A and B are shown apart, each in its own frame.
Chain A
Amino acid sequence: DTAVSQTPKYLVTQMGNDKSIKCEQNLGHDTMYWYKQDSKKFLKIMFSYNNKELIINETVPNRFSPKSPDKAHLNLHINSLELGDSAVYFCASSHKGPRTFGSGTRLTVV
Chain B
Amino acid sequence: GENVEQHPSTLSVQEGDSAVIKCTYSDSASNYFPWYKQELGKGPQLIIDIRSNVGEKKDQRIAVTLNKTAKHFSLHITETQPEDSAVYFCAASAVEGGGADGLTFGKGTHLIIQP
Contact = CB atoms under 8 A, between A and B. Distances in A.
A94 B103 CA distance: 12
Contacts of B96: 96-97
Interface size class of A (residues with CB under 8 A): 20 to 34
Interface in A33-52: 40-43, 45, 48, 50
Contact of B41 (A40, A48, A53, A103): A103
Contacts, number: 54
B103 A99 contact: yes
Interface residues of B, number: 22
Contacts of B100: 31, 48, 50, 53, 55
B87 interface: yes
Contact of B107 (A42, A57, A94): A42
A104 B108 contact: no
Contacts of B46: 98-100
